[in-house]
Structure 1
Amino acid sequence: MTSSKNDTQLKRSFMKDEAYNELRKWIITGKLQPGTKLRDQDLSDTLGISRTPIREALLRLENDGLVVTKANRWTLVSPINLEEAENIYSIVWTLEALAMEQAFPYFTLKDIDELERYNENLNKIMKTGNQIAKLQADNEFHNKILQLSHNLELPKLLSSLKLRIQRIEIHYFNEIDRMNTSYEEHKKIIDLLRKKNMYLAIEAIKSNWKNSLESIQQFTDDSI
């Protein structure tokens, strides 16, 4: 009996995680557009699983800020707006500046070379036009700095914020050629690390995020 009960719990947990991962991907990539109404029965039919793991996945997505719910009425994919982007980016560049400050004493030549490889990989992927792959390559670069900070709280704080940023950037960067600029900004960060200039490296990591936000602001201004 115990084995059967455990198997049921594992299966339910697996389905909940699978539902969450799939719905999160659909929201971030825009397959589920902002404002789309999410009905658990429809999602259950589409994914071929029961409604319970769907509901649990939607609760997690609400905690991530990717869906909004009105109790017993509706669940929608969260809207994307400029005010939200400004709030999220400002938090991210502040936390990544802290990560750079805390990581700086730990950087070795090997670590800097690894950052360079990540950045060259980003440059290579840019030519494919795969927006999701470009963002993933960009994240590899930034995650290396987080790792070297040895601050285990920073990835936790940044995780859901970066999910929302990925969604914002996929939404806007299909229209904006931003990653070429980001590649050059990463090169500047690498150069400053080699020169052991912590102050300017911190300012450069902040500028990398600020310039992404400014690209979005400029695009929305031009679209009005």
Structure 2
Amino acid sequence: MPVPATSASVARNLLRDDVYGRLRDAIVDGTFEPGEKLRDLELATWLGVSRTPVREALLRLQQAGLVVARPGRSTEVAGLDARAVRDAQSVVAAMHQVAVREAVGRLTAADLTQMRDANARFADALSRGEVDAALAADDEFHHVPVRAAANRAVMTVLEQFTPTLRRVERLRFGSLAGRGSVSLHEQMVQHCERGDAEAAASVSHQTWCALEPLLDALETDSPATPNHRPGS
């Protein structure tokens, strides 16, 4: 019997995605700080994998704007480039608007309950100052309509550009400013429940535009250079 050709491929894909996800999360949560050098051998040892999936992950992270590669020299964690963050925000807001518009009418009662439960956990995490928990709950909330829309193009774009925004949202969710999203989330669920796709999509767009004050401050306080480190 011939060896199945798909098993190893699936395993490799899962490994690549896992390595990428762990490195992405380490950059977003600040484990790896802006300007920090990322050496593939050290990362491979830390993750317990070979250097190949690490190199592939670093390439994806570069495409997402989270790392900067200097050929023949080093790969570093990218700083918060105000222009890049604003560009990502525009794209992410538009993609979520599309997803919500397409999802309304497909969302089940269980989906709406999941969104409300996620928003309750989001509000609780904000009140406790638990930024990681708030981000996780917010991710779950927005993922429900994205999953229901099942638009693969939207999913691909969001996977690439959302992490850039999450770095800034950590600042917002660590302050009182983040609590405004709780109300917007509830409004969105209500519109979805009533089947008003345009109203729900509009509120979804508003939630991602709530980052505007932080982006304005970022543009004012820091030069738009890929490796600027706030406070440096």
Displacement of 1:215: 3.2
Matches within 5 A, 1:46-57: 46-47=46-47, 51-57=51-57
Q: TM-score, with normalisation over the residues of structure 1?
A: 0.81
Which moves more between the two structures, 40-49 or 138-147?
Answer: 40-49
| Mean CA deviation greater in 159-168 or 202-211 | 159-168
Q: Is this contact kept in 2: 1:134–1:179, CA < 8 A?
A: no
Question: Structure 2: which 5+ runs fail to align?
Answer: 223-232
Structure 1 residues 34 and 99: alpha-carbon distance in aligned structure 2, compared to 1, 3 A threshold? same
Return the offset for 1:156. 1.7
Which moved further from structure 2: 174-183 or 213-222? 213-222
Change (3 A) 1:9 1:186: closer
* Residues 156-184 of structure 1: per-residue CA shift (max 9 Å, x gap): 221121122222322x2365333311111
Q: Which structure shows the higher helix fraction?
A: 1
Structure 1 residue runs of 4 or more that deviate by more than 6 Å after TM superposition: 8-15
Question: 1:176, 1:215 within 8 Å by CA — same for their partners in 2?
Answer: no
Structure 1, unmatched stretches of 5+, are none
C-alpha separation in 2, matches of 1:89 and 1:116:
24
Could you tell me which amino acid in structure 2 is paired with residue 167 of structure 1? Answer: R
Q: Distance in 1 between matches of 2:114 and 2:17?
A: 32
| Higher RCO by CA contacts (8 Å cutoff, separation 6 or greater) | 2
Residue 82 (structure 1) shift: 1.7
Give yes or no for contact 1:58–1:67 (8 Å, CA) kept in 2. Answer: yes
What secondary structure, in the 3-state scheme, does the structure 2 residue paired with 1:168 have? helix
TM, length-normalised to structure 2: 0.78
Alignment of 1:210-221 (within 5 A): 210-211=209-210, 213-220=211-218
> 2:153 — aligned with what?
153
Q: Counterpart amino acid of 1:64?
A: A
Would the aligned equivalents of 2:129 and 2:174 in 1 still touch at CA under 8 Å? no
Distance 1:40 1:53 in 2: 9
Deviation at 1:223, TM superposition (A): 5.7
Give the % identical residues: 27
Residue 131 of structure 1 deviates from its aligned partner by 1.2
Q: By how many angstroms is 1:193 displaced?
A: 2.4
Q: CA–CA distance in 2 between the matches of 1:155 and 1:69?
A: 25
